Amino acid sequence: MTIEQAQQNVDQWIKQIGVRYFNELTNTALLMEEVGELARIMARKYGEQSYKTTDKNMDAADEMADILFVLICLANQTGVNLTEAFEKNLIKKTERDKNRHKSNPKLI
């Protein structure tokens, strides 16, 4: 699935099942909530925090998909073509960082 197809699929899902998009502010708050859920998993799996019994069934892949879904909702609502935005962003990062990381002694 391409990013464009994902944007179309989410829009179709919202119209058929979700009734309508939550407003942009609500979706921004939901995005932060989903990022927090992923952070919780990462802190327990890769960090020093221990799992609580309620954390055992949390799935990082599912949380990442939740993040992507809400991000796509926000893009659709605000008229952002994520394919174009990502391509431009990758060009920006490439131009800005083409030598930066290679010369970083922390990464060698």
For residue 104, being part of any structural domain is answered with no
Give the 3-state secondary structure percentages of the chain, helix then strand then coil, rounded to 5: 70, 0, 30
CATH number at residue 39: 1.10.287.1080
Question: What pLDDT is attached to residue 79?
Answer: 98
Q: Is the pLDDT of residue 56 over 80?
A: no
For residue 37, being part of any structural domain is answered with yes
Q: What mean pLDDT, rounded, does the chain reach?
A: 95
> How many domains are there within the chain?
1
**Whole-Å CA distances, 93 to 72, 84, 85, 99, 108:** 21, 14, 12, 11, 20
Question: What pLDDT is attached to residue 67?
Answer: 98
For residue 88, being part of any structural domain is answered with no
Cα end-to-end span (Å), the chain: 35
Query: Mean per-residue pLDDT for 81-98?
Result: 96
> Range of 19's domain?
3-83
Question: What pLDDT is attached to residue 3?
Answer: 98
